[in-house]
């Protein structure tokens, strides 16, 4: 047990959450099938959606703003690519290894960071993330500026029968991983543990007065968020075929903040919507706007802060008067 304290009951799953989940899965399936959208692009979106959900678990339900989540995404990407390129492990073991590396890194960084709050917590996570970036830049086993690529002769066979060289199979494989991660987050949020996290977010002194070991709860949430971010980063390697410095650099941490903000922090489905919108914008404008994509992203951030502070799903939930 994490703490001996008054019991908090778990909350049952509202019916409209079942409907929203069904719509999300149906749209993902239709996008690949009926709509004919490129499966690799959809798989990339799903990886970032899981990354955003993992970040939202920390900021939306614990109230901890991390500026260093690229450390977990990027380190997991390198770990997954290294396991595939150097050890020849199958994709599922590479991804599990990546999640383990991210969780271990989260335990170390979280052990230092959770002792502080607010901007100090954010700056500590950013400092650690930059340390990881410079290790990735200088270390030989990361490939330096070239990064790590999965060899062309690598057997992309998951679970002994799923051929990830086939784009459609790759999409369904990534969708399965995303759904597992999403459901884990959903279960955590609606468990007694999740209710304690919300209590800490709303009034930490009161949670302490009730007997909860707040730092332990925050550390567990931090490690879980890191592990899920690592799960997404490790999976991303099999979509793009490589791990690069951009995966571990600080703009990636800012990008996931924008995804959560755009979709709606503290909502369940918001980070998914934010990732879909932001990655779509990036892909659409990459060849048309060039470096101006960053300016456009900055404009979206300012617009969200000034006019749509609840985000896309947050505003929809307000109109429907139902939490999403």
- Mean pLDDT along residues 5-28: 72
13-22, 58-67, 84-93, 146-155, range with the lowest pLDDT: 13-22
- Angle, vertex CA 11, rays to CA 220 and CA 196, nearest 5: 35
- Nearest alpha carbon to residue 237 among 291, 180, 170, 294: 170
pTM: predicted TM-score of the whole model, two decimal places: 0.91
Using pLDDT thresholds of 50, 70 and 90, give the confidence band for residue 11: low
3-state percent breakdown (helix, strand, coil) of the chain, nearest 5: 75, 0, 25
210-246 pLDDT, tens per residue?
Answer: 888 999 999 999 999 999 999 999 999 999 988 999 8
3-state secondary structure of 69: coil
């Amino acid at each position: 047990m994490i703490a001996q304290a008054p019991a908090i009951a778990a909350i049952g799953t509202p019916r409209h959450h079942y409907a929203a989940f069904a719509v999300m899965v149906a749209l993902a399936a239709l996008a690949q099938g009926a709509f004919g959208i490129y499966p690799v692009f959809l798989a990339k979106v799903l990886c970032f959606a899981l990354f955003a959900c993992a970040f939202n678990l920390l900021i939306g339900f614990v109230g901890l703003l991390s500026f260093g989540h690229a450390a977990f995404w990027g380190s997991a990407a390198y770990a997954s690519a290294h396991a595939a390129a150097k050890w020849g492990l199958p994709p599922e073991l590479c991804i599990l290894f990546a999640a383990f590396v991210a969780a271990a890194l989260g335990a170390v960084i979280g052990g230092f960071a959770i002792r502080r709050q607010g901007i100090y917590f954010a700056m500590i996570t950013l400092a650690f993330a930059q340390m990881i970036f410079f290790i990735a830049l200088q270390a030989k086993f990361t490939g330096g500026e070239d990064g790590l690529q999965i060899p062309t002769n690598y057997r992309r066979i998951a679970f002994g029968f799923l051929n990830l060289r086939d784009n459609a199979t790759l999409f369904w494989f990534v969708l399965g991983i995303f759904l597992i991660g999403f459901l884990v987050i959903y279960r955590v949020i609606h468990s007694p543990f999740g209710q304690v996290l919300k209590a800490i977010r709303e009034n930490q002194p009161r949670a302490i007065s009730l007997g909860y070991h707040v730092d332990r709860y925050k550390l567990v949430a931090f490690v879980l968020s890191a592990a899920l971010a690592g799960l997404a980063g490790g999976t991303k390697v099999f979509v793009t075929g490589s791990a690069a410095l951009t995966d571990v650099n600080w703009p990636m941490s800012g990008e996931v903040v924008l995804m959560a903000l755009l979709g709606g922090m503290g909502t369940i489905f918001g980070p998914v919507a934010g990732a879909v919108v932001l990655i779509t914008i990036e892909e659409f404008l990459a060849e048309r706007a060039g470096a101006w994509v960053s300016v456009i992203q900055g404009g979206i951030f300012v617009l969200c802060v000034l006019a749509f502070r609840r985000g896309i799903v947050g505003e929809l939930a307000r109109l429907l008067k139902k939490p999403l």
